[in-house]
Amino acid sequence: MTDTVNGYLSADHDRLDRLLAEASERLRAGDVAVAAQVLAEFAGGLRRHIRLEDELLFPTFDRVTGMNGGPTAVMRQEHRAIERHLELMVAAVDRHDLGAYADEKLAMLDVLGDHNDKEEAIVYPMTDAGLPEGERAALVASLRAFR
């Protein structure tokens, strides 16, 4: 039973973690051009991940739990903070400012770490549990197809 919201989105978190680690590693090695490419892939992937949660996942979570925006309102605010730090990370690498990159990365991870943990422990499993199997499979297919 691999076609779950938790399975798909947790794997995407892991994929994004690996891209960020590689970008930082390339930067440490002084390979700024490749670091910028990998960081752009990370940024695009993270922005997509955030949008598919805002547009598809959170409305479904609100509906199946009947919580009507309480927890997801907080998650959406955290998304805005993550996006701001991400933008500043990309700008820092563009001007080869490794100190600013490190500061913004730390600030982003400060939000992102707990945020992803809450999603994997609460939001994704509760969404999976609240959906009949057919609807869950349809949602996962929509997440996969999201661009």
Residue 128 touching Fe ion (CB under 5 A): no
Could you tell me the smallest distance in angstroms from the CB atom of residue 5 to Fe ion? Answer: 12
Could you tell me the smallest distance in angstroms from the CB atom of residue 130 to Fe ion? Answer: 18
Query: Which residue number, 31 or 120, has a Cβ lying nearer to Fe ion?
Result: 120
Residue 53 touching Fe ion (CB under 5 A): yes
Size of the site for Fe ion (CB under 5 A): 1
Interacting residues of 70 by C-beta distance below 8 A, sequence separation 6+ = none
In degrees and rounded to multiples of 5, residue 18 shows phi and psi of -65, -40
Query: Which residue number, 53 or 104, has a Cβ lying nearer to Fe ion?
Result: 53
Residue 102's closest CA among 28, 40, 1, 12?
28
Could you tell me the smallest distance in angstroms from the CB atom of residue 75 to Fe ion? Answer: 6
Q: For the chain, percent helix, then strand, then coil, each to nearest 5?
A: 90, 0, 10
User: Which residues lie near Fe ion (CB under 5 A)?
Assistant: 53
